[in-house]
């Protein structure tokens, strides 16, 4: 294919972020498009193509210069004369070239040649340049500007690095972040047979099993991308097959009739075993316990475990030992004299009251009235299992503290099971939607400690995570600093943009300048799971998405007797 010449390099070409070209015309190219420039890095090496992206375009015309004032209107040209006075300058940010010795993309260390021709690129060049691997990659969407027609350039994310090295999806409301996450998780499960657990504070992802049946999107407007035309039916069939086999889409909820109605009884009710949690976890979910109250609670839990030798243990027995059964605890022969003296009735009563409040709000703990406790291995699977799972923890309608408690305890059980030397779970990815509420910067949250622990330790045990947030500047920087892939969509808040710049040295000022003007469904993706920062149009989801804004006019309808406008 013959490549079209867009323009010529001019001026100082030594700064890879400020390479300038004079464009052939104002129609030659548009901001954001990719270009190629022939370059020779060393005298002993053959010429190669350097890839760049047009970061800005300026267009001026001397005949319409504001400084000429009204004299322009009096200018008379002879018939047939052509005076344009126009110049179109494009600023190019260099992405780099494929170094044949290392296989990596490198920025040129020798300035490009002034006067070199700037040419167009096509699908074949870009695909070869980025070397996307369809087998180990996840098709997230297509390059912006190359997302329709015959010149579609697909973008793939490395699944191993995406999952184990953590992900952040950041955007303002309505930019499409939940939709993007939806596409990622359904492909991880249906096409890559993965295990994904989504903590769903608003019930968006749970809509995929609304009424107890898998809900797929309608796609009435059609699908332009031939890859999506092929893959979406495969995803739908895979999710049907997996769900029928007892895996696939699984929704866990608190023990509430409202959730049973929402999912027509196909939900699984949470019955967490309180005695599985370490004292650190318990002190997080019962904040404000004094030291005497913690000692009483610790002794009561140990006694509970000793007298109820077999699992599962009824949480109501622990409450009993903190109230009417406290005398039984005092008689326990394994207590030291100091421990027995510390069993203060008032401290026990306060601990019991706080525990009762948590149990009433969360409705997610095991008691004898329930048939079976929640089994973390059934939720995630073991390495020998071959069925992918999309596990949704529906937290809709709960208080923020209760959402944090359930999220913290399940996350803790997942990490404990993953780190088991004798019986680990299969690798999995935890998704924290509205992450700024679960791991906020400079604020207390019950779930904060365990998320930071997973950020620091999860990778070596096969536990990855993703944080999704509309306010990235309100996220704990210790958590986001561990996210080695970032998907950033429309962001207009300057604090959030500065946060992105501090988070990664891979993003340039030109990239940041793009963020406020991105359309819904467009994203800047950079990090370890992708070869270089790219602007991507996110592809179509298979499952129903629950995050769209309602059509208020359709819901409101017309006033009675209205004849229309």
Give per-residue pLDDT as tens, 360-376.
999 999 998 888 999 99
Determine which of 103-117, 222-236, 274-288, 495-509 has the lowest per-residue pLDDT on average.
495-509
Looking at the fold, whether 225 and 352 belong to one and the same domain comes out as no
CB atoms closer than 10 angstroms to residue 229: 13
Which tokens sit at 245?
């086999």
Residue 557 within a domain: no
Looking at the fold, whether 492 and 475 belong to one and the same domain comes out as yes
Give per-residue pLDDT as tens, 23-58.
998 888 888 788 999 999 888 888 999 999 898 899
The residues facing 446 across adjacent strands are: none
Residue pair 25/88 in contact (Cβ under 8 Å)? The answer is yes
pLDDT computed for residue 68 by the predictor: 56
If we measure between CA atoms, which residue out of 246, 247, 355, 362 comes closest to residue 294?
A: 355
pLDDT computed for residue 92 by the predictor: 93
pLDDT above 80 for 82:
no
Looking at the fold, whether 313 and 222 belong to one and the same domain comes out as no
Most confident of 181-195, 223-237, 287-301: 181-195
DSSP state of 60: E
Q: Label residue 220 by pLDDT band (50, 70, 90).
A: low
The angle at the Cα of 407, spanning 405 to 409, to the nearest 5 degrees, equals 70
pLDDT computed for residue 32 by the predictor: 79
**Strand spans (E) along 441-564:** 463-469, 485-488, 522-527, 534-538
Q: Label residue 349 by pLDDT band (50, 70, 90).
A: very high
CA dist 527 and 545 (Å) reads 26
pLDDT computed for residue 550 by the predictor: 63
pLDDT above 90 for 65:
no
Q: Label residue 546 by pLDDT band (50, 70, 90).
A: low
Give per-residue pLDDT as tens, 463-478.
999 999 998 889 999 9
Residue pair 452/166 in contact (Cβ under 8 Å)? The answer is no
Give per-residue pLDDT as tens, 422-462.
999 999 999 999 999 999 998 889 999 999 999 999 999 99
Domain boundary among 121, 146, 177: 121
pLDDT computed for residue 562 by the predictor: 61
Burial environment of residue 527 by CB neighbours within 10 A (0 to 12, 13 to 18, 19 or more): buried
Looking at the fold, whether 429 and 475 belong to one and the same domain comes out as yes
**Mean pLDDT in residue range 506-516:** 79
pLDDT above 70 for 78:
no
SS3 382: coil
Domain range enclosing 181: 137-270+374-552
Burial environment of residue 477 by CB neighbours within 10 A (0 to 12, 13 to 18, 19 or more): middle
Looking at the fold, whether 230 and 325 belong to one and the same domain comes out as no
Looking at the fold, whether 398 and 519 belong to one and the same domain comes out as yes
Report the share of the chain in percent with pLDDT over 70. 93
User: What mean pLDDT value characterizes the chain?
Assistant: 88
Q: Is 103 left (phi over 0), alpha (psi -120 to 50) or beta?
A: left
Looking at the fold, whether 64 and 169 belong to one and the same domain comes out as no
Domain boundary among 362, 384, 406: 362
Residue 565 within a domain: no
Q: Label residue 508 by pLDDT band (50, 70, 90).
A: confident
Looking at the fold, whether 252 and 281 belong to one and the same domain comes out as no
C-alpha separations of 187 from 19, 136, 238 in Å: 39, 12, 10
Q: How many domains does the chain have?
A: 3
CA dist 262 and 42 (Å) reads 66
444 versus 162: the higher-pLDDT residue is 162
Looking at the fold, whether 345 and 466 belong to one and the same domain comes out as no
Residue 127 within a domain: no
Domain boundary among 362, 392, 414: 362
pLDDT computed for residue 87 by the predictor: 87
Looking at the fold, whether 81 and 183 belong to one and the same domain comes out as no
pLDDT computed for residue 221 by the predictor: 64
Residue 507 within a domain: yes
pLDDT computed for residue 79 by the predictor: 53
C-alpha separations of 425 from 209, 376, 420, 453 in Å: 25, 8, 8, 18
DSSP per-residue string spanning 448-462: HHHHHHHHHHGGGGT
């Amino acid at each position: 294919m013959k490549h079209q010449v867009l323009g010529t390099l001019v001026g100082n070409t030594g700064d890879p972020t400020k390479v300038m070209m004079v464009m052939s015309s104002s129609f030659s190219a548009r901001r954001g498009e990719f270009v190629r420039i022939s370059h020779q890095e060393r005298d002993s090496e053959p010429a190669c193509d350097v890839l760049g992206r047009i970061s800005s375009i300026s267009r001026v015309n001397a005949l319409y210069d504001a400084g000429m004032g009204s004299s322009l209107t009096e200018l008379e040209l002879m018939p047939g004369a052509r005076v344009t006075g126009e110049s179109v300058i494009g600023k190019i940010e260099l992405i780099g070239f494929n170094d044949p010795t290392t296989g990596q993309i490198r920025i040129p260390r020798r300035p490009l040649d002034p006067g070199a021709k700037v040419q167009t690129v096509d699908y074949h060049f870009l695909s070869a340049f980025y070397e996307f691997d369809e087998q180990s990659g996840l098709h997230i969407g297509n390059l912006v500007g190359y997302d329709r027609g015959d010149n579609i350039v697909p973008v793939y994310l490395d699944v191993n690095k995406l999952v184990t090295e953590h992900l952040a999806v950041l955007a303002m409301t309505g930019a499409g972040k939940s939709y993007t996450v939806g596409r990622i998780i359904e492909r991880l499960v249906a096409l890559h047979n993965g295990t994904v657990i989504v903590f769903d504070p608003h019930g968006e992802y749970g809509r995929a099993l609304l009424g107890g049946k898998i809900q797929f999107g309608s796609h009435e407007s059609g699908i332009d991308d031939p890859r999506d035309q092929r893959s979406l039916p495969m995803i739908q069939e895979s999710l049907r097959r997996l769900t029928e086999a007892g895996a696939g889409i699984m929704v866990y909820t608190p023990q509430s009739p409202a959730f049973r109605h929402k999912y027509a009884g196909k939900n699984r009710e949470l019955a967490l075993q309180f005695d599985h949690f370490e004292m650190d976890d318990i002190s997080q979910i019962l904040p404000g316990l004094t030291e005497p109250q913690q000692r009483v609670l610790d002794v009561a839990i140990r006694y509970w475990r000793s007298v109820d030798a077999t699992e599962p243990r009824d949480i109501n027995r622990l409450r009993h030992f903190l109230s009417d059964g406290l005398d039984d605890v005092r008689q326990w022969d394994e207590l030291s004299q100091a421990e027995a003296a510390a069993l203060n009735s008032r401290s026990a009563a306060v601990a019991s009251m706080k525990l009762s409040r948590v149990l009433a709000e969360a409705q997610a703990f095991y008691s004898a009235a329930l048939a079976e406790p929640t089994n973390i291995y059934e939720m995630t699977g073991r390495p020998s299992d071959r069925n992918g799972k999309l596990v949704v923890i529906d937290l809709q309608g709960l208080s923020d503290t209760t959402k944090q408690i359930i999220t913290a305890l399940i996350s803790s059980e997942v990490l404990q099971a993953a780190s088991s030397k004798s019986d680990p779970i299969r690798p999995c990815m935890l998704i924290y939607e509205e992450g700024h509420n679960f791991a906020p910067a400079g604020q207390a949250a019950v779930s904060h400690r365990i998320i930071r622990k997973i950020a620091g330790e999860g990778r070596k045990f096969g536990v990855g995570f993703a944080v999704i947030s509309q306010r990235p500047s309100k996220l704990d920087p210790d958590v986001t600093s561990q996210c080695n892939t970032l998907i950033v969509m429309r962001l207009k808040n300057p604090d959030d943009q500065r946060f992105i710049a501090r988070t990664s040295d891979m993003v340039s000022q030109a990239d940041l300048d793009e963020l406020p003007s991105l359309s819904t469904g467009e994203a800047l993706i950079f990090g370890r799971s992708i070869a270089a920062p790219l602007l991507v149009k996110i592809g179509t989801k298979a499952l129903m998405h629950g995050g769209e804004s309602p059509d208020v006019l359709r819901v409101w309808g017309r006033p009675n007797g209205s004849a229309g406008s």
